[in-house]
Structures are given as structure tokens and as C-alpha cells.
Amino acid sequence: MSEKEIITAPIPTIRRLPRYIHLLTRLKRDNVEVLSTTRIAEELGFEAIQVRKDIAVTGIVGKPKKGYDLDELLNALRHFLNWDNNTDAFLVGVGALGKAILGYSNFKSYGLNVLAAFDSDINKIGTKYNGVEIFPVDKLDDLIQRLRVHIGVITVPASEAQFVADLMVKGGVKAIWNFAPRAIKVPSEIILENVHLSQSLAVLTHKLSQMNDE
């Protein structure tokens, strides 16, 4: 076959990559220039072989006996996640959750550029939070379309989540990052990532009850 081979990294690997980026960013400040998977594994409590496999998905090559060039590895990791490009995003719902996300200024280094926020509360319209201006929700789909915004972040209450998602899809976003505690339905071509606190809490409470049983 002549088509370019599609390399699909396992989702668990992709979820670990930010850990490496965080570590390398810190080590870079300490002027580390080369480091081995053994060292990375030690720092993060992983197995070296897993680190090696994870890094392999970026296609970067290291130097036997030495390890990887830190800058090169960091760039490769950030490129793999597209964190070396800024992608425009809109955030909808400037309540406590939305403010928490907007306040999370690290997003720039994660390649996310929150262009504007939206809310249905008339008192918030026209004000700014953390430098981001707040617009009325009924402008949402039109502005997504005109500014060709690719990512929509949903931080509204559960009851509004589907309504907002539909507006985002109508406007033409390619991906939705949903923080509302409600499952939403979107067409299959839209990338949907949910952050459901209950999933994480379930693991915690179940483990805790098992521990108490012993």
C-alpha cells in the first residue's frame, strides 16, 4: 500500500505525555540538557520501559548510552499534542467552574487560546474575567463561525449543557471539552472530551470502602 501509515498512540500513553512535558519543563530550568528514560522513570515513579514506549510514539530518536536531548524531546512531545500551536477556543458559562478554568493561565502553554467567554447573565456581559471578555450566549454560534473557532469549552450547569453543545456544533466547532456533569450528544465527527468528576470520585470512594473492609 502506498498510503502513509497511520500511527495511533494508545490513549493511556497520550494521557501520560503531559507528565513528561511538566517534568522536562522543570528540568530545563535546572539546565539539564540530556536525560535517559531511566531518569524520567525514577522522577515520575514509572517503569523505564514504559517511558521508552511512550516516547517512541513521537518518533524522536535518542542516543544510546546517553539518552534524549531535552529540548528535542520536549519539542517532539509538545508537537505531538499540538501544544506548539495555539488553537482558539470559546468558553461558555462564567460561573465558579468557568472562572476556575479561565484562571488556569497555563492553558497558553497547552496550546489553548481562550478568545472569549459567554454567559447568559446580563450583568456579566461586557465585563472581563482574567482578561477575557464575556459575550451573550446568543452570539455564540455566529462568532464561532465568523472567527473559525475550533474548540468549545462547556462550563455551564448540567441542565444547559446540551443546549450549549448544540449551539457549538451549529457554529462549527471541531472539538468540545465538556465539564458539565451531564452526558451530551454530538455528531460522531465532533471530538468530545468529558471531564466528569464523578468518575474520579467513584474510584476514590470504592478504594476507600475496600480499605475499610480489611
Chain positions contacting DNA, by CB under 7 A:
10-13, 36-39, 47-50, 52-53, 55-56, 60-68
Task: Tally the C-alpha atoms within 13 A of residue 199's C-alpha that lie toward its C-beta.
Answer: 8
The count of chain residues that interact with a second copy, using the rule CB under 8 A, is 55
Task: Name the binder of 62 from DNA, a second copy, none, CB < 5-8 A by kind.
Answer: DNA
Residue in the block written with cell 536525560? 35
Query: How far apart, in whole angstroms, are the C-alpha atoms of residue 177 and residue 196?
Result: 11
What distances in angstroms separate CA 14 from CA 89, 107, 176, one per listed residue? 21, 17, 18
* Size of the chain, expressed as the number of residues it contains: 214
CB 120 within 8 A of CB 112: no
Task: Name the binder of 61 from a second copy, DNA, none, CB < 5-8 A by kind.
Answer: DNA
Helices 48-56, 37-44: axis angle to 10 degrees equals 110
Please, which residue, 14 or 125, has the CB nearer to DNA? 14
Please, which residue, 49 or 202, has the CB nearer to DNA? 49
Using CB under 8 A as the binding rule, the residues of this chain from 153 to 182 that contact a second copy are 174-175, 177, 181
What the block records as the C-alpha cell of 171 is 457554529
CB of 82 to a second copy, least distance (A): 4
Q: Write the interaction track for a second copy spanning residues 7-46; mark x where CB under 8 A is met and - where it is not.
A: --x-x--xxxxxx--x---------------------x--
CB 130 within 8 A of CB 156: no
Q: Does 106 bind a second copy (CB under 8 A)?
A: yes
What the block records as the C-alpha cell of 49 is 520501559
Contacting positions for a second copy (CB under 8 A): 9, 11, 14-19, 22, 44, 80-83, 85, 87, 95-97, 99-104, 106, 110-112, 150-151, 174-175, 177, 181, 183, 191, 193-209, 211
